[in-house]
Structure 1
């Protein structure tokens, strides 16, 4: 396959780098340390089961869902580097 100046496997290297960056970003956002007994946004109690399942949890389920929805609306994926978009 002719790729111009790019070396063999350059597209896959770019995809791997993008996935690796996304994994590192997601891991950096995982809660760590001692969890809270009450939500830091609304002060609602955080159930013991949630605190046991997610060490370092800071938000109740409702506030976490709202935060996830806000972040999901702004999360952009570079589709140009995906093999699927190149096949179309």
Structure 2
């Protein structure tokens, strides 16, 4: 099958790279070490079960939910591109 300039497997390579980037970003955000006993934002107590479940926990559930809402996840790359942008 003719693919133009793209080599065989180019689409799968793009998919693999995108998934790999997402996994790398997720691993970088994981905490390490012992968790805090008190939230560093609001100073509320962090339950022992949360500290055991989330290594390196720094925030209580309420503050973590607010932090997650504010965080924008973007790889910074548009690997797919649009058809129009490829024609320009």
TM-score (normalised: structure 2): 0.80
Aligned pair count?
A: 79
Query: 1:1-88 residue pairs with structure 2 within 5 A?
Result: 1-71=1-71, 74-76=72-74, 78=78, 80=80
What is the distance in 2 between the residues matched to 1:6 and 1:79?
Answer: 13
- Kindly indicate whether the alpha-carbon contact (under 8 Å) linking 2:51 and 2:57 is maintained by their aligned counterparts in 1: yes
The aligned counterpart of 2:85 is: none
Report the aligned-residue RMSD: 1.8
Task: Give structure 2 stretches of 5+ with no counterpart.
Answer: 82-88
Task: Give structure 1 stretches of 5+ with no counterpart.
Answer: 82-88
TM-superposed CA distance for 1:79, in Å, is 8.0
What is the distance in 2 between the residues matched to 1:15 and 1:68?
Answer: 25
After superposing on structure 2, the runs of 4+ consecutive aligned residues of structure 1 that deviate more than 6 Å are none
